[in-house]
Structure 1
C-alpha cells in the first residue's frame, strides 16, 4: 500500500470514528444543548466518505473500457512525411548507453502542449550513439493534424512513455505528404 493510500484510509477511519463517537455523545446529551447540536454536526462527517465510496463504485460499474490505442497498422509500409534532425538525450544509467540499433523506432513528437505519434527508421546495418545529431525521415500517425503545426524550423521534443528522450527540429516537409 502506498503512502497516499495509507493516508486516505487513515482519514476515512478517523472520520468514521469521529462520527461514531459523536453519535454516542449525542445519545447521552440533553436535547437542545450545545453538546447535542455539535455532536449532530460531527455525525455528518460520514456523509462525504459514503458519497465518495458510492461515487467510486458507480464509476467502476458504469465505466466503459478504454478504447485500444491507435497505432500504425502492422506491416504498413513506411511513408516519410517530414525530414527532421534530432539528438537523443544521453541515458541516465551508463549501462543503458548503447548505440541505437537499426529498425523502426516510435515516439511522440511534442510541440508546446501537443503531441503527435510518429515513427522513424534506421537503415539496416547503421547505428548511432545518443548525444549525436541525426537526420531522419519520419511518418506521423495523423499527418493531417501534425503537418500543419510543424513548418520548417519548428523545434520539438521526443517522448517515449512519460520521459523526454530527445530534442530536434523540422528540416522540411516532404512532397506528397
Structure 2
C-alpha cells in the first residue's frame, strides 16, 4: 500500500468517525433532558464542522487546480543528439555488492547546477564499460537544450541526480555544435 493510499484511507476513517460522533450527539441531544448531557450532545454535533470545512477546501482546491500535465520526457525512439561533452564520475556505492558496471543503453538523469536541475540522457555503447568511481568522458543530451546550455558552459561543475539521490559528479568539457 502506498503512502498516499494509506493517508487517504486514514482520512476516510477520520471523517466517518467524526460524522458518527456528530450523529450520536444529535441523538443524545434529542432525547436528553436540558442539562449537562444535552450540552455534551450539542458539542458532539459540532464535530461535523471540521469535516465540512475539509470537504469545502478540497472542492475549492480541486476547482482551482489545473489538470496535471504529464512530465516532459524524451520521445520514445528519438535519435540521440548530444549537446555537451562532460566528464562524469559516478560515486562508489556504500556496499561492495552494488559496485557493478553500468549496463549498456540509455540512462536518464537530472544534471544539477547550484539549485537548478536539467533533464538529460546519456548512453553507454554496447561492449563498453562504465565503472563507478572512475572519471568517464561522455556526451549528454538535454531535454531543453536552450535552457540548459546557457548554464552548462565549459568548466561548470554539476551533480547527477537519479531518483532522489545524487549519484555522481562531473564537469562540462565543451558544448557541442548543434547537428
TM-score (norm 2): 0.72
Query: What do the CA deviations read for 1:78-110 (whole angstroms, capped 9, x no partner)?
Result: 222112222212345544422113332221112
C-alpha change, 1:58 and 1:135, in structure 2 (3 Å) is same
The alpha carbon displacement at 1:13 in A equals 4.1
Equivalent position SS for 1:86: strand
Aligned-residue Cα RMSD (Å) equals: 3.5
**Equivalences for 1:24-63 in 2 at 5 Å?**
24-27=27-30, 28-30=32-34, 36=38, 39-53=41-55
**Partners in 2 of 1:169 and 1:89 — Cα distance?**
14
- Determine if contact 2:124/2:130 at 8 Å carries over to the other structure: no
C-alpha change, 1:11 and 1:68, in structure 2 (3 Å) is closer
Equivalent position SS for 2:22: helix
**Equivalences for 1:59-78 in 2 at 5 Å?**
66-78=68-80
Counterpart position of 1:114 = 116
2:22 paired with 1:19: yes
**Equivalences for 1:81-160 in 2 at 5 Å?**
81-91=83-93, 94-160=96-162
**Partners in 1 of 2:21 and 2:77 — Cα distance?**
62
Equivalent position SS for 1:138: strand
**Partners in 1 of 2:178 and 2:75 — Cα distance?**
20
From 163, 172, 175, give the equivalent of 1:173.
175
**Partners in 1 of 2:114 and 2:39 — Cα distance?**
55
The alpha carbon displacement at 1:60 in A equals 7.8
C-alpha change, 1:40 and 1:155, in structure 2 (3 Å) is farther
Equivalent position SS for 2:177: coil
TM-score (norm 1): 0.73
The alpha carbon displacement at 1:130 in A equals 1.2
Q: Which runs of 5+ in 2 are unaligned?
A: none
- Determine if contact 2:154/2:175 at 8 Å carries over to the other structure: yes
**Partners in 2 of 1:83 and 1:43 — Cα distance?**
67
**Partners in 1 of 2:7 and 2:57 — Cα distance?**
19
**Partners in 2 of 1:73 and 1:47 — Cα distance?**
49
